[in-house]
């Protein structure tokens, strides 16, 4: 009989992160408790995630329904300062004033009063909690079902909803997962999308300038419609393609309308359903103006892609694949989730043969993982290395407790672990200025420290994940979502 290895974590340590952020700090100096901050790290590490998880004694049903809170860690000649602010959304301001829950949440959070109080209230509260990116002179807090909120990049004060100088219509969806093209087609750009779902789904693909006097200006814009319901969080880019994976997901809105479930809880995998790869030609690439390509995808559910690249007539897509759509039902407590019953994310590589319209798939890792990225200069190109958050155990599903560097060619790994009492978030690889080697730089991660019930900023050497410095934050930041790095120009 095979005995499963002991779990390397205590549930109470993991769950202790699910608390309200109780203060907003301004330019608080962070001093390393170990190591030295590299002087070459010049810029700001921005991070977004749910910061308010409870109001008037009522906790959100799912952390993804929490109000967005931005943390900015500014690096300047070996010094680091922390500023954090809640995004002053319309919903946050209204609930702050009323001191009670006024809105339902997409992931199942309900207003007080039971089913009758929630039925037929179909308003979506823009909680601005999923990602944060710099575009021109604006810092954008992203939530993919509506417009972004614009913030001041320095003070983090909320400027208000942004329609990007008229690019977006009121309430138009704008992805929380843009991709940054380092300059494959002549100039760097931010590539992003909005999706309008229904029996047919429409993807609006947009590209914005990211450098120069026209930073933030829309460069390219096209819309394409596809058959079927689209549940899309992420996508991948190559120099010529934007690659989407339409998961085999059905949406029955009736329980949402009648107040029984949140909208996301009405999503369900189609038994025996087949996903589709949608490849949209980029208007900055050599196939501009051509029709999209559609290929059948293998079984599984994908939230996040690592990267994509072109290899002759093939497009290669590397993605984190789940056996099924992971969700938390109306009667489940997210802090008590049984990880043994939740599908684990495993890194796969799909090779899309566009000439023969066939797809071949292989697993390229066996370890539970999420939040994977390549060197930003290799976005859309073949990369040798990936950095990702992984479970502490080699096999089995657990919370994410380690950062791993994976050689995508050989399978060799380096790992930094926060176990047994630490839990990692999305690692961010920052390239060393002027670096030539792909793995020359640092990895930044915001780690939940269960021992002191607060967060640590960890700086690692990207080459071998050796620890460079650890800085303790005077702040408890809940497990969060995405972030970005903005270099000082």
106 falls in which pLDDT band (50, 70, 90)?
Answer: very high
Residue 274 has a pLDDT of 84
pLDDT digits 0-9 by tens, 394-425: 999 999 999 999 999 999 999 999 999 999 99
Q: Per the annotation, where are the binding residues for Fe cation? A: 177, 233, 304, 482
Residue 327 has a pLDDT of 76
- What is residue 377's DSSP assignment? G
Q: State mean pLDDT over 60-70.
A: 95
Average pLDDT of the chain to the nearest whole number:
95
CA dist 221 and 238 (Å) reads: 17
pTM: 0.96
Taken as a whole, the chain contains a residue count of 489
Residue 77 has a pLDDT of 96
pLDDT digits 0-9 by tens, 174-187: 999 999 999 999 99
Contact residues for 290 (Cβ-Cβ < 8 A; gap 6+): 281
Is pLDDT at 489 greater than 60 in this prediction? no
154 falls in which pLDDT band (50, 70, 90)?
Answer: very high
Other C-beta atoms closer than 10 Å to the C-beta of 268 total 14
Q: Per the annotation, where are the binding residues? A: 177, 233, 304, 482
Residue showing tokens 């300062």: 81
* Sheet strand arrangement including 276-281: 236-237, 241-246, 276-281, 293-296
Sorted by where each begins, the domain ranges of the chain are: 11-487
CA dist 444 and 461 (Å) reads: 9
> DSSP letters of 126-158?
----SEEEEETTEEEEE-TTSPPEEE-TTT--E
Burial of 47-81, coded b for 16+ CB within 10 Å and e otherwise, reads: bbbbbbbebeeebbbbbbbbbbbbbbbbbeeeebb
Contact (CB, 8 A) for 415 and 404? yes
pLDDT digits 0-9 by tens, 205-231: 999 999 999 999 999 999 999 998 898
Contact (CB, 8 A) for 456 and 449? yes
């Amino acid at each position: 009989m095979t005995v499963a290895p002991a779990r390397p974590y205590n549930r109470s340590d993991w769950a202790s992160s699910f608390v309200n952020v109780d203060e907003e700090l301004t330019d608080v100096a962070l001093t390393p408790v170990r190591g030295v901050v590299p002087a070459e790290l010049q810029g700001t590490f921005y991070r977004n995630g749910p910061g308010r998880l409870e109001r008037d004694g009522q906790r959100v049903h799912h952390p993804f329904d929490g109000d967005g809170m931005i943390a900015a860690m500014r690096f300047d000649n070996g010094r680091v300062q922390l500023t954090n602010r809640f995004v002053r959304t319309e919903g946050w301001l209204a609930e702050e004033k009323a001191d009670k829950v006024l809105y339902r949440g997409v992931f199942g959070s309900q207003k007080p009063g039971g089913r009758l109080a929630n039925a037929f209230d179909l308003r979506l509260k823009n909680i601005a909690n999923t990602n944060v990116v710099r575009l021109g002179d604006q810092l954008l807090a992203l939530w993919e079902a509506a417009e972004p909120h614009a913030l001041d990049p320095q003070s983090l004060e909320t400027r208000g909803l942004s329609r990007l100088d008229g690019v977006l219509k009121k309430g138009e969806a704008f992805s929380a997962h843009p991709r940054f093209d380092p300059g494959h087609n002549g100039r760097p750009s931010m590539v992003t999308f909005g999706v309008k779902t229904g029996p047919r789904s429409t993807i609006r693909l947009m590209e914005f300038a990211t450098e120069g006097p026209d930073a933030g200006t829309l460069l390219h814009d096209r819309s394409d419609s596809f058959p079927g319901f689209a549940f899309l969080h992420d996508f991948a880019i190559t120099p010529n393609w934007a690659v989407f994976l339409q998961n085999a997901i059905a949406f029955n809105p009736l329980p949402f309308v009648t107040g029984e479930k949140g909208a996301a809880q009405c999503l369900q995998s189609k038994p025996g359903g087949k996903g589709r790869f949608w490849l949209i030609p980029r208007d900055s690439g050599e196939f501009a103006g051509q029709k999209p390509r559609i290929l059948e995808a293998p079984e599984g559910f994908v939230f996040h892609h690592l990267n994509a690249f072109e290899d002759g007539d093939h497009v290669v897509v590397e993605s984190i694949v789940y056996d099924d759509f992971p969700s938390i039902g109306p009667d489940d407590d997210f802090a008590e989730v049984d990880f043994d019953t939740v599908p684990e994310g495993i890194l796969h590589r799909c090779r899309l043969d566009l000439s023969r319209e066939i797809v071949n798939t292989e697993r390229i890792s066996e370890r539970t993982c999420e939040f994977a990225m390549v060197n930003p200069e290799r976005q859309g190109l073949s990369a040798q290395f990936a950095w990702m958050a992984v479970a502490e155990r080699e096999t089995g599903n657990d919370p994410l407790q380690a950062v791993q560097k994976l050689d995508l060619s050989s399978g060799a790994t380096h790992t930094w672990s926060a176990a047994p009492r630490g839990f990692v978030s999305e690692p961010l690889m920052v390239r060393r200025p002027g670096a030539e080697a792909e793995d020359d730089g640092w990895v930044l991660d915001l780690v939940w420290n269960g021992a002191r019930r607060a967060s640590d900023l960890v700086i690692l050497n990207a080459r071998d994940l050796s620890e460079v410095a650890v800085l303790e934050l005077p702040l408890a930041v809940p497990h969060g979502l995405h972030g970005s790095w903005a270099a000082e120009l």
